[in-house]
Amino acid sequence: MQQAMKEKLEKVVELVNNVLVDPDIALDYYIPEEITRNGVHDTKSGDPYVLLKYVVNGTENREQKIPIKPNYLEKTPEDLANLVTFYIEQFMEEIHTVAHGYE
């Protein structure tokens, strides 16, 4: 992966971490050729992704993978961070819906 793309993704990680305020959500980032956090690695794809993790009521784990598709990589770091944040918000809405029995 070219250096400029890695720098862009590192900026996205920084921006998303700055706006994420829910302590129940854990984010793991996979950037090809550079594991940013917790050694997350996708052996099937070389595409970067964000893995969201949430524990419902202290016991039930839920995860969602947000792939960073090649066309997303054309966006500015700010736009890409906003997109990732949007997906995190959708994930949280789904978690709250399930937690309150509205499946």
DSSP string, 5-58: HHHHHHHHHHHHHHH---TTEEEEEEETTEE-STT---SS--S-EEEEEEEETT
Kindly give the interhelix angle for 77-99 and 3-19, rounded to the nearest 10 degrees: 40
What pLDDT shows up at residue 30?
A: 83
Per-residue tens of pLDDT for the chain, all 103 residues: 577 877 888 898 889 888 877 777 888 888 776 444 444 444 455 778 888 888 766 666 788 999 888 888 889 999 999 999 999 889 988 887 876 765 4
Angle at the Cα of 61 from the Cα atoms of 25 and 15, rounded to 5 degrees: 20
CA distance 7 to 60: 35
What pLDDT shows up at residue 59?
A: 67
What pTM was computed for the model? 0.74
Map residue 27 onto helix, strand or coil.
strand
CA distance 67 to 52: 11
Helix and strand tally (H, E) in the chain?
Answer: 2, 4
What pLDDT shows up at residue 77?
A: 92
Looking at residue 16, its amino acid is V
